[in-house]
Structure 1
């Protein structure tokens, strides 16, 4: 890997062009900005359709003609000084004298100025003109005039009201992203709070009279202070960049504002959700998809909660005759158990507590070296539970653990659950997107044997949050959720064909999130979505190879889906002592040092706004803090990943230099660098 400076150029908001200039247009309608939405729309459309040259090795992604860049390009330093500023700052300038060798960012330690968002109340250069030309904020009859800000998004006139506002939003998103200049704002929590302080002050947030530039300023502020998963250096979490077509579809839903709790609030939305769920039921492999039912949820947490509720009630009905949402009988209290792998999602324990089972009701089964649940241990655990008087009420397999992306052996687990007559749920919130990929779909063999399946299409489906799904193989499974409410779903209405989805969800008011999914499925097709999944899978394997080849990094295991775990190996001779006592590392000073350095280098990257790298902890001997890349941006290139890993190495070296400077000369040690295991 070539050495890369961790931050490179940090844009200084005080140098930003004034709003209303060609470099930094103000709100649409102001000087230097498009005064008609058609111009803005045409420009945006042209930009989206233009061919963007890609670097060598870029993969073609369906629906694109290149790799779009959403960040300010950073400079690359000379190999002799991988952590020096690309351009040496003058004494007293931002970035000068930084003890870590990483230039200061506005609002961070080393910079006396609070980060300012161009055009915000805190920026003396960026005020929005008090009076904007026709078409912009303050125009007669437009947003900002008396009654103008209260125009409605729906109806025949809705698009006309939305058009100039959308032009403002699109312009502010671009200006905010340019001001941010990277995957997230520099300065850490204090810098972000300082940047937003004036905009979010009570008098500014709720003034006596409305402010005409609120949409522009707050949108720009949101973009400038966002962690942007569209930036290739933002790679920590299961946090995807939304597809533009999905975000546009979501706007249509926001404008129409349907609610799925009754047919007469969402006639089309009801049909769309039903059709999308029917399609997904077939995709997961249910034996009789026509008998399946489901619901869109807020994500895996809600899906898991609902799955455990349905499993609990099925077992209570079968073994104790409890019907229709009845209470847990005294003879079952404290005896119900949920079995899952030790790597299953934390939301299961929380769901068990919410459902009155208690968090202790979740029984974690030890995983193998590959991080998956061992069906033999599950079999024994279920048998032992019955012998001890417990009542297994659900077996949960995970298709894509959060850290390792491990997929439990679903077919074998289904057989065990069936043998013990226990409801079987699969949490496929992460791994469910593999269904679109011919290469990865075999990992999900046996998924269709589950009683319930949870999917998150705001992960490997690239949807705006939220796009969770819970599917049930048998419509009767959803029975405990049934509700009859006179003003929403009277029986005679349903008999007449006015179907209500009220009895499929824990929520009443519910937006049709299936619409953006329907638009995406039809726009990209299975092969298009599969290509996105495959591209991310290729990227994570490139990252794993690069980690294995870098002497200062250690790979945990080969990736399965799109996540990879690793750690930085500190130089034991360079840092003679920890700055503080280690937290939990036993008596192993090398492990304690590794944990502290890896944790600190990640915070350093965050505070500088350089990169967003994940962190987790592995249990047991040889465990401890590990770094994580979760690669969900199919526009990322191999060169981006090489650069990201070089940033990690450079940040680790910077932490070591700072700590060594505090501690003084290091005592002699036989090994200078923590070595990778053979």
Structure 2
């Protein structure tokens, strides 16, 4: 047996001890043909999967798939991309959840447009980092132009600015950080003896609706506020924040010596697609001198709608806004942004590091995006939206979003006329919340029947729907973001749900009869 070690490839200095061939995998001028072959092979496999997908999910369980993946020895490479892609076919592509399928109706996951996929390929290969100019150059200016374009669509005014983020949760966290710091600065400026942060933080409150996204509470926790810092304001019958309820909470906080650091209004709640009455809320915030943040992660698609833009009336008065392009602009994850009315407030996220973005660069007018961001290294996700706008234009995106909102309205009408189901309030966007409702004494089985139907549907892979709780009871939820989803698809899924839920009720009824007879 030979005891000779692996061949090594020497560098010009003679000090390189890496195994021969390792550099063959680096993307560089000498490996562009391998790059082309590997990517085309991967693209073909995804394209073939998408072309042949007959249902959104295989229904595989974690217990079935986990042993396959955990049994792979990551210390033993396969040696080439073709073999690795064969493996990925088995452990990922085969069982992936395909959002492009018209019967994927669960979460806020959209099918993606082809120009954005082109952008994804370009940005991944070049691998620009958007923290500093000397790592990104034109990418910095493209992101800034898109922030400017979005802020103009919102109507935030000439002093607006913002930065791309990883998603709505980070955007909300960023906005509440700015609100917290602005509140502290105002209190300090008005006090002869400013309170310390430990003294002030327990007094801060964030007011938001009962239907707001959970990231508001998570953000408050991360920002060092108390467990009771987020106050849920009552909602009306349409699941929108009540302005009268907000006024009462602002007054109560003042009476108790508490400081409202921010009001978070939602333009598109995750469960109900409801849009808070932004103009009355803005009036209250202006009168109270309170920061207004609008979480439009879902509803931002209305910014490019030619028929529904009016639903966001009042958003232009916000101090900060969250937008998620990867929800209603049909972009791949991740693609989000936080916008502010006054660019000066972004200073609260600014730190200067000598090795990266020293303060002197500001004087030299060098545009470093890390000066605004909570992140340092950051992908050039803006390129996906840029290519989408340059190829399709905003009106085309708006038309796609209008289409899914129309489809949700049709689904709501269908459900309201179907005696097998009950449906809650009609969404302003593209969600539909409903449940199968047994008749007679079996009505008490409604919660369990709907839970069973959702699980059975997912296990079959024929469709994927979401679930939520409404007033303490279990409901099902459609989130429609695919223009390819038809009313026939929705009717088909409703029949499947009724079949699964009805079978559960029938079996339970039979068990009850047997027990009673025994």
Same fold, TM-score > 0.5, yes or no: yes
Residue 214 of structure 1: CA displacement? 0.8
- In structure 2, C-alpha distance between the alignment counterparts of 1:435 and 1:636, rounded to whole Å: 22
| Aligned position for 2:38 | 165
* Contact kept? 2:206, 2:230, Cα under 8 Å: yes
Structure 1 position 292, deviation (Å): 1.1
Partner of 2:495: 646
Instruction: Report the alpha carbon displacement of residue 611 of structure 1 after superposing the two structures with TM.
Output: 1.2
1:624 to 473, 478, 486: 473
Q: Distance in 1 between matches of 2:304 and 2:32?
A: 34
2: CA distance between counterparts of 1:208 and 1:515? Answer: 33
The structure showing larger relative contact order (alpha-carbon pairs under 8 Å, at least 6 residues apart) is: 2
| Secondary structure at 2:404 match in 1 | helix
1:212-361 paired onto structure 2 within 5 Å: 213-219=83-89, 221-288=91-158, 291-321=159-189, 329-361=197-229
- Counterpart of 1:427 (choices 285, 290, 295) is 295
Within-5 A mapping of 1:193-204: 193=66, 197-203=67-73
The alignment partner of 2:367 has SS state of coil
SS of the residue corresponding to residue 453 of structure 1 reads: strand
Matched residues in 2 for 1:304 and 1:534: separation? 25
Tell me whether 1:605 sits opposite 2:429 in the alignment. Answer: no
Alpha-carbon distance change, 649 to 262 in structure 1, aligned in 2, over 3 angstroms: same
Shift of 1:251: 1.1
User: 1:666 & 1:539 partners in 2: Cα distance?
Assistant: 45
Structure 2 residue aligned with 1:451: 319
Q: 1:657 aligns with which of 506, 511, 514?
A: 506
Do the aligned partners of residues 478 and 327 (structure 1) sit closer, same or farther apart at CA in structure 2, a change above 3 Å counting?
A: farther
Whole-Å separation in 1 of the counterparts to 2:349 and 2:190: 14
Q: Any idea what SS the aligned residue of 2:199 has?
A: coil
SS state at 2:149 partner:
helix
Q: Where does 1:14-93 land on structure 2 (aligned, <5 Å)? A: none
Could you tell me whether the CA contact under 8 Å between 1:394 and 1:424 is conserved in 2? Answer: yes
| Shift in CA distance, 392/199, structure 1 to aligned 2, threshold 3 Å | closer
- State the distance in 2 between where 1:658 and 1:157 align: 66
The 1-side partners of 2:325 and 2:516 are apart by 53
Task: For 2:110 and 2:269, locate their aligned partners in 1 and report how far apart those are by CA, in whole Å.
Answer: 16
Indicate how the Cα distance of structure 1 residues 341 and 208 shifts in structure 2: closer, same or farther if over 3 A, else same: closer
Change beyond 3 A, Cα 1:208–1:546 = closer
Q: Does 1:562 align with 2:430?
A: yes
What CA deviation, in whole Å up to 9, does each residue of 1:270-318 have, x standing for no partner?
0110000000010001132xx2110101111101111111001001011
* Number of the residue aligned with 1:102: none
- Alpha carbons of 1:199 and 1:390: their partners in 2 closer, same or farther (altered >3 Å)? closer
1:260 Cα deviation (Å)? 1.2
Q: Secondary structure at the match of 1:628?
A: strand
Deviation (angstroms), 1:186:
2.1
Q: Which position in structure 1 is the counterpart of 2:26?
A: 152
SS at match of 2:495: helix
C-alpha distance in 1, partners of 2:498/2:51? 26
2:178 aligned counterpart, secondary structure: helix
Structure 1 residue 638, shift from structure 2 partner: 2.2
Q: 1:244 Cα deviation (Å)?
A: 2.0
Asked whether 1:183 is paired with 2:51, we answer: no
Structure 1: give runs of 5+ residues left out of the alignment: 1-144, 576-589, 669-678
Query: Any stretches of 5+ residues in structure 2 without a counterpart?
Result: 1-18
Decide whether aligned partners of structure 1 residues 158 and 257 sit closer, same or farther in structure 2, where only a CA change above 3 A counts.
farther
Q: 1:436 to 1:651 in 2, by over 3 A?
A: same
1:157–1:407 Cα change, 3 Å: farther
Matched residues in 1 for 2:190 and 2:168: separation? Answer: 27
Asked whether the 8 Å contact 1:292–1:471 carries over to 2, the reply is yes
Structure 1's 305 and 150: CA in aligned 2 closer, same or farther, altered over 3 A? farther
SS in 2 for 1:360: coil
Cα drift, residue 241 of structure 1 = 1.3
State how far apart, in whole Å, the 1-side matches of 2:501 and 2:427 are: 23
Q: State the Cα RMSD in Å.
A: 2.4
Cα drift, residue 452 of structure 1: 0.3
**Shift in alpha-carbon separation, 1:208–1:191, aligned structure 2, 3 A:** closer
Matches within 5 A, 1:99-118: none
Shift of 1:156: 4.6
Matches of 2:51 and 2:507 in 1, distance apart?
A: 31
Please tell me whether the aligned partners of residues 449 and 502 of structure 2 are also in contact (alpha carbons under 8 angstroms).
no
Task: Give the whole-Å Cα distance in 1 for the aligned partners of 2:510 and 2:36.
Answer: 57
Structure 1 residue 189, shift from structure 2 partner = 2.7
Q: Which residue of 1 aligns with 2:412?
A: 544
